Amino acid sequence: MRILVLNGPNLNMLGTREPHIYGATTLADIEQALTARAARANASVHCVQSNHEGVLIDTIQQEHAASSGIIINPGAFTHYSYAIRDALSAVACPIIEVHISNVYKREPFRHHSVIAPIATGQMAGLGWQGYLMALEWLLLTQTAA
């Protein structure tokens, strides 16, 4: 079982980026925790971060068939990327949208997600552990691929 973990723009800056909002944990730390958790379940994660919409879309198109689920934090693309939404709409596996911060108590432009209507579910406001919760759900519900 293999899970695709996608992170969008500015998430490579976790650890130093507005730590009062996003915490002090780096993306490398998160990916390491996901890798370790997946390994305990005889699963694996394939982690990709990009600041570029097209790279995220290419990765979805190339990797979804080999994935039992997708965990994606699209960063600011969450709020306006119909292109990423369309790419995700075309895949068969479950999609969990993750936000480190509680976007619903932040600026109004963050309250709307164009991804949420086509996602299986969403985690928001639980810090970096939201990624682990998303992985936990996929491990619980998805059979080996």
Q: How many CB atoms lie within 10 A of CB 9?
A: 17
Nearer to ligand DHK by Cβ, of 43 and 77: the residue is: 77
Question: Based on CB atoms, which residue is closest to ligand DHK, 61 or 111?
Answer: 111
- Catalytic, out of 22, 46, 82, 131: 22
Whichever of 43 and 124 has its CB closer to ligand DHK, that residue is 124
Q: Which two tokens stand for residue 139?
A: 């491990």
Q: Is 112 a catalytic residue?
A: no
| Segments in 13-145 forming alpha helices (H) | 19-22, 27-40, 53-63, 82-89, 129-141
Q: Distance between CA 54 and CA 17 in Å, rounded? A: 23
Check 80, 99, 104, 112 and give the catalytic one. Answer: 99
**Min CB(69)–ligand DHK separation in Å:** 18
104 is catalytic: no
* Active site amino acids: 22, 99
